[in-house]
Amino acid sequence: MHIALAIALLVLASILFHALSPWWQTPIASNWGSIDTALHVTLLICALAFVGLNLFLAYTLWKYRHRPGNRAHYEPENARLEKRLTFWTAIGIAGMLAPGLIAWHEYVTVPADAAVIEATGQQWQWGFRYPGRDGVLGTAAVEHVDADNPFGMNPRDPYGRDDVLVETNELHLPLGKPVKVVLRSKDVLHDFYVPHFRAKMDLVPGIVTYFWMTPTKSGSYEILCAELCGVGHHQMRGNVIVEDQRAYETWLGEQMTFGQMLAEREQQRGAGGTQLARAAPPAGAAAKAGGR
């Protein structure tokens, strides 16, 4: 008997927990309201099923509990009932799948006017790259990575010279502009996750992955790594600063481009480096030869 009561009370407790607990989605700060909608529709349908099925269970346990003289009803099957249940279940499933797929369609369709920025991951920090004046990210690959070229920029690619490189775990985004975030990892899997944006995607070494979103509220949001990447996984944090266009541009203007970085290194080397290092043509190779 206790079990019927317990099931009913657990349903009640779950509802109360849902209503009263302080833990729920972080306030949204991106365009992904459609994901939240799909989630809420799913929650509603599932909650109805949860409450309905379990209350039916509790009632059944109470009503048909064993009492002396009771005998169970003999009914091997009831095809009509089973068909009807199947039908309504399919309706419920379709009801949550539809908004889910619609939101997913949006998620995989990057708007043509989205700005492109790149987030790179390595154990256990973030780096960011902006395409610069030409609006195009230069090519980059792990083969070019060395101490002086942490982003693995292709030294021969002219598009890369004006790319803005940020190594401080801090990403700035302009408010209200759709942005395609392309993701690259230098070592293992990572995942770019900002709870307020709802969006996330793995960084996979060897390939370039992406997702897109539009920040809709200015402020500072935390970036978490959401794919196990070793002992520092829980410390692989960053921040996104969403700000208006003017502030964003001011900030961007203060950052170094790849070209400027190369020039600066060249200068340092000019002061203390050898002739040989300066003579070597490709910048990446030179940097490597020069060392630090």
Partner 1 sequence: MATIADDLRPLHHPKTWIGRYVWSQDHKVIAIQYGVTAIGVGLFALVLSFLMRLQLGFPGRFDFIQPENYLQFVTMHGMIMVVYLLTALLLGGFGNYLIPLMIGARDMVFPFVNMLSYWFYLLSVIVLFAGLFVPGGPTGGGWTLYPPQTITGGTPGASWGILMMMASLGIFVIAFTMGGLNYVTTVLQARTRGMTLMRMPCSVWGIFVASIMGLLAFPALFVAAIMTILDSVVGTSFFVPEIVSMGEKTGHTGGSPILFQHLFWFFGHPEVYIVALPAFGIVSDLISVHARKNLFGYRMMVWAIVIIGGLSFFVWAHHMYVSGMNPYFGFFFATSTLVIAIPTAIKVYNWLLTLWRGDIHLRVPMLFAIAFLFTFIHGGLTGLFLGNVSVDVPLSDTFFVVGHFHMVMGVSPVLVVFGAIYHWYPKITGRMWDERLARLHFWITFLGTYAIFLPMHYLGMLGVPRRYYALGDTVFIPDSVHYANMGITIAAGLVFAAQGLFFYNMIWSLFRGPRADPNPWGAASLEWQTPDTPPHHGNWGERLPTVYRWAYDYSVPGAARDFIPQNEPPPAQNPAGGPQA
Q: Is 39 in the site for partner 1 (CB under 8 A)?
A: yes
Tell me the pairing of strands 125-130 and 164-166.
antiparallel
Residue 170's Cβ-side half-sphere holds a number of Cα atoms within 13 Å equal to 11
Span near partner 1 by CB under 8 A; candidates 7-15, 111-119, 250-258, 274-282: 7-15
Supply the Cα-derived Rg of the chain in whole angstroms. 28
Task: Provide the token pair at 226.
Answer: 């959401």
**How far apart are the C-alpha atoms of 155 and 157, rounded to whole Å?**
6
* Residue 88: cis peptide before it, omega within 30 degrees of 0: no
Span near partner 1 by CB under 8 A; candidates 112-120, 157-165, 193-201, 255-263: 193-201
**How far apart are the C-alpha atoms of 150 and 127, rounded to whole Å?**
9
Query: Which amino acid type is present at position 110?
Result: V
Q: In this complex, which beta carbon is closest to partner 1, that of residue 128 or of residue 197?
A: 197
Q: Figure out which of the listed residues 119, 145, 166, 181 binds partner 1, where binding follows CB under 8 A.
A: 145
CB of 29 to partner 1, least distance (A): 10
Kindly identify the residues of this chain, within the stretch 203-232, that bind partner 1 according to CB under 8 A.
Answer: 203-207, 209, 221-222, 224-232
CB of 105 to partner 1, least distance (A): 8
Kindly identify the residues of this chain, within the stretch 92-121, that bind partner 1 according to CB under 8 A.
Answer: 93, 96-97, 100-101, 103-108
Q: Figure out which of the listed residues 166, 181, 183, 286 binds partner 1, where binding follows CB under 8 A.
A: 183
Q: Which of 247, 259, 267, 278 is nearest to 133 (CA)?
A: 259
| Binding partner at 199 among partner 1, Cu ion, none, C-beta below 5 to 8 Å by kind | partner 1
Strand partners, 193: 200, 224
Binding mask 260-289 for partner 1 (x = CB under 8 A): ------------------------------
Q: Figure out which of the listed residues 78, 139, 245, 267 binds partner 1, where binding follows CB under 8 A.
A: 78
Dihedral sign computed on CA atoms, order 137, 285, 126, 173 = negative
Number of residues that bind partner 1 (CB under 8 A): 104
Residues of this chain that bind Cu ion (CB under 5 A): 190, 225, 229, 233, 236
CA distances from 237 to 32, 124, 149, 234, 253 (A): 22, 8, 22, 8, 24
Q: Is 243 in the site for partner 1 (CB under 8 A)?
A: no
